[in-house]
Structure 1
Amino acid sequence: MATNESIVSRRARYAAGPVRRLRMLGPTLSHSPWVLVTFFVLVSVCAGAGIFIWPDRVPWGVYGLIVVAAGLFLEPRFLLVVYIGLFLSMAILGAYLGSAKTTTAGAQVVTVATMALMMWLSHARAQVGVVGVSGESMLVDMRDRLRAQGELPPLPAPWGAEVALESAYGDGFAGDFVVASRSTDGRTLEIALVDVSGKGREAGTRSLLLSGALGGLLGEMSQGGFLQSANNHLLRLRWGEGFATAVHVAVDLESGDFTIGYAGHPAGVQFAAGSGRWRMLEGGRGPLLGVIEQADFPREHGTIRHGDALVLYSDGVIEARDKALVDGIDRMLGRAESFIRTGFEGLAQRLCDQAAAGLGDDRAVVVIWRG
């Protein structure tokens, strides 16, 4: 099976990031805040001693560094203790050194302003129950879990599949996500591509919530009942701010037969090796998820023969403000036609990169092929 290159490359890119390296540090230090308070007080004393001994060499800016570092790791009540000590130390030193240390008043104003900013940031983190870098680490974990659910299971030869996900303007979260499952007997592959209303970070939390629920439904419901169950789930959530579209496909890996259904989602396309042409799979149309109760979601049936491929995509791949939707579809198929001359591997990422919406919208492409 082809490698899911877009997700693998992101994991390699983020794995060595500073937030991930500090991932376990925040929770550990949060259990011993007075140790941190003592540490920052000692560092402040050392900084003050350095300014006292070498007033022309050690700048006031060293206090700013301590202010930011303490703000990253301490919750408000402990942070206030450190900041009071820092302010008193700076005020006493400034009064004692006088003209021997210039720009004292300006440095004090900047330091106090930085303290106020870090106090606000610390208070905001405390309201959601995170301290230090644990909040960023939690977001990294949420993002990785969302992307991990989109990883496709291993497929037997001659089958291959890829998924590519790109968020608007390179944000870590996107409104598009993929969930996939393979039956316990290994015969059936099910994939759902979902597009939550909104884009980027504003849709990221809803994507995470919905992906977990739909991932649990996938494989547990009948092929024809998946979209109905997903619709019922969104209705129970009572989202006031949006809805979702989805396309769900179930493929029999032995015969190549498949069924596909849509919930307000753009129609998938199938490449037929025999004719060398692309065909729109426009049957099986249903309404948006989370809008209509007891909605009907019909299915279209087809067969993936040797050399054929099936492409699913989100609206960001074909929609552009200055173009009609049909033009976007023609553009995508034209790109696909030129890419498949070297095989289907890598097609998903290439179509994402060449999307009509560019970087301004979330984009997702799933390609399934039979060699």
Structure 2
Amino acid sequence: MTARSDADRAASPSKLKVARRRRRLVPRGNDTLAALVALTVAVTVPVLVWPDTAPMTMLIVPLLLGSLLLGPRQLPWFVVFVMVMLMLAISAQPKITSKQVLAITILYLLCFIVLLTSFRRSRLGVAGVQGESMLVDLRDRILSQGAIPPLPEAWLTETALRSAGGTPFAGDFIVAVRAEETDRLELVVVDVSGKGEQAGTRALLLSGAFGGLLGALPPADFLPAANEYLLRQGWEEGFATAVHLSLDLVSGAFEVRTAGHPPAAQLDAGSGRWTVHEGEGPVLGLIDGAEFTTISGVLRSGDALLLYTDGMVETPRREIGLGIDRMLGQAERLLRGEFEGGADRLVDSLGSRNDDRALVLVHRR
């Protein structure tokens, strides 16, 4: 055992020397670049040795891999290296035909496109695949903000979200919070100005900020604080609408406040009728010191409450009032006797595919 340890210690200095020499040739973090350079050389050699057999278009492979894997600092230099290898491949051709001229033109055009892409990526500072994974992570964080926390068995709460054009990013988002050791659910549905990917970046920021405010402030202070936060951003199109629900999970008593948002709708299980709770409050991010009225009510056994965005009820050919009537008619038909899965059924059957749609269904069993 001792002899083996002594041998390992004796070998470790030599391993360190090899590692240091390797790092001199290939600086830390440039392993991918070195591998792509080696691949480019390996692809170019057959073109130089057998110019009549190996096509120059083989250089597309390392160019494509470089555009996916390299960062904005490394990618321009790698593209220049590929262009140099392409020049060597051209010089090795015994005869340049019109077909080869077209292939060469396309290759240089691809190099130019990749260069432009690298300059645009420099604003983000990460490689293509890494940047995409960051966006996916941010999107997942938005969706996790809207996850409903565990509730008592007597309550069913469902959310459904669809973005314009089916893209994974939307201007509509939901934030739900239930503070520890409390019997109150705080939930807000927000519609950021714009739609789809255009509003997605603002939704990324606002979902985190509103989640922090929702759990830290009394219910009456949330919308004023959210309004002040948006005003401080100074965005040209930085307004948003919202509806905020504060629900007591023991008594069923609730408070609803709206900020330029479509009104909440409540189902009375006893009468089977829907009531629209019209509230007053300006759009968030436009008026300093805005005030928001409170609508109070109670959800009894069998009752339900709908919170939604204008994409559910508003289209270019239909006013929002008519859209609400249509939504409630669909709700009466689709939710009759079966509330589970009702949020998805309603969203899929209503609204415009060209607008973001979000809906929250709260049902007391």
Same fold (TM over 0.5): yes
2:219 maps to 1:246: no
- Counterpart of 1:364, as a letter, is A
2:328 maps to 1:333: yes
Name the residue aligned to 1:324: 319
- For the 8 Å contact 1:67–1:111, the answer to whether it is kept is no
Equivalent residue in structure 1 for 2:356, among 332, 337, 362: 362
- For the 8 Å contact 2:44–2:85, the answer to whether it is kept is yes
Name the residue aligned to 1:12: none
Counterpart CA distance in 2 for 1:84 and 1:192 is: 51
Name the residue aligned to 2:212: 216
Counterpart CA distance in 2 for 1:225 and 1:86 is: 59
50-59 or 222-231, which deviates more = 50-59
Name the residue aligned to 1:180: 176
Cα 1:252–1:73 shift into 2, 3 Å: same
Listed as ranges, the matches of 1:55-66 within 5 Å are 55=51, 57-66=53-62
Cα 1:53–1:100 shift into 2, 3 Å: farther
2:105 maps to 1:92: no
Name the residue aligned to 2:4: none
Listed as ranges, the matches of 1:245-324 within 5 Å are 245-282=241-278, 284-324=279-319
Counterpart CA distance in 2 for 1:76 and 1:251 is: 49
Q: Give the structure-2-normalised TM-score.
A: 0.87
Cα 1:161–1:263 shift into 2, 3 Å: same
- For the 8 Å contact 1:175–1:207, the answer to whether it is kept is yes
Name the residue aligned to 1:5: none
Q: Give the structure-1-normalised TM-score.
A: 0.86
- Counterpart of 1:165, as a letter, is L
- For the 8 Å contact 2:255–2:294, the answer to whether it is kept is yes
Name the residue aligned to 2:135: 139
Superimposed CA distance per residue, residues 286-307 of structure 1 (whole angstroms, 9 cap, x where no aligned partner): 1111111222111111110101
Cα 1:323–1:65 shift into 2, 3 Å: same
Counterpart CA distance in 1 for 2:96 and 2:238 is: 62
- Counterpart of 1:362, as a letter, is D
Name the residue aligned to 1:171: 167
Counterpart CA distance in 1 for 2:97 and 2:29 is: 33
2:347 maps to 1:343: no
Counterpart CA distance in 2 for 1:119 and 1:100 is: 26
Counterpart CA distance in 1 for 2:210 and 2:350 is: 26
- Counterpart of 1:238, as a letter, is G
CA deviation after TM superposition for structure 1 residue 38, in Å? 2.2
Equivalent residue in structure 2 for 1:129, among 125, 130, 145: 125
301-310 or 120-129, which deviates more = 120-129
Name the residue aligned to 2:3: none
Q: What secondary structure, in the 3-state scheme, does the structure 2 residue paired with 1:69 have? A: helix
Superimposed CA distance per residue, residues 160-202 of structure 1 (whole angstroms, 9 cap, x where no aligned partner): 1011111111122111111111132231011000111111111
Q: What secondary structure, in the 3-state scheme, does the structure 2 residue paired with 1:307 have? A: coil
Unaligned runs of 5+ in 1: 1-30
Counterpart CA distance in 2 for 1:100 and 1:244 is: 60
Aligned-residue RMSD, C-alpha: 2.0
Superimposed CA distance per residue, residues 215-270 of structure 1 (whole angstroms, 9 cap, x where no aligned partner): 11113211212111111221222222231111001111111111111111101111
CA deviation after TM superposition for structure 1 residue 132, in Å? 3.7
Q: Looking at CA atoms only, which structure, 1 or 2, has the larger radius of gyration? A: 2
Q: Across the two proteins, how many residue pairs are aligned to each other? A: 340
- Counterpart of 2:329, as a letter, is G
Counterpart CA distance in 2 for 1:44 and 1:292 is: 59
- Counterpart of 1:340, as a letter, is L
- Counterpart of 2:273, as a letter, is R
Q: What secondary structure, in the 3-state scheme, does the structure 2 residue paired with 1:341 have? A: coil
- For the 8 Å contact 1:247–1:261, the answer to whether it is kept is yes
CA deviation after TM superposition for structure 1 residue 150, in Å? 0.6
CA deviation after TM superposition for structure 1 residue 313, in Å? 0.4
165-174 or 78-87, which deviates more = 78-87
- Counterpart of 1:143, as a letter, is R
Listed as ranges, the matches of 1:10-21 within 5 Å are none
Superimposed CA distance per residue, residues 137-176 of structure 1 (whole angstroms, 9 cap, x where no aligned partner): 1111111111110111011111110111111111221111
55-64 or 190-199, which deviates more = 55-64
Q: What secondary structure, in the 3-state scheme, does the structure 1 residue paired with 2:89 have? A: helix
- Runs of 4+ aligned structure 1 residues displaced above 6 Å come to none
Counterpart CA distance in 2 for 1:33 and 1:71 is: 16
CA deviation after TM superposition for structure 1 residue 101, in Å? 8.1
Cα 1:157–1:293 shift into 2, 3 Å: same
Counterpart CA distance in 2 for 1:186 and 1:160 is: 18
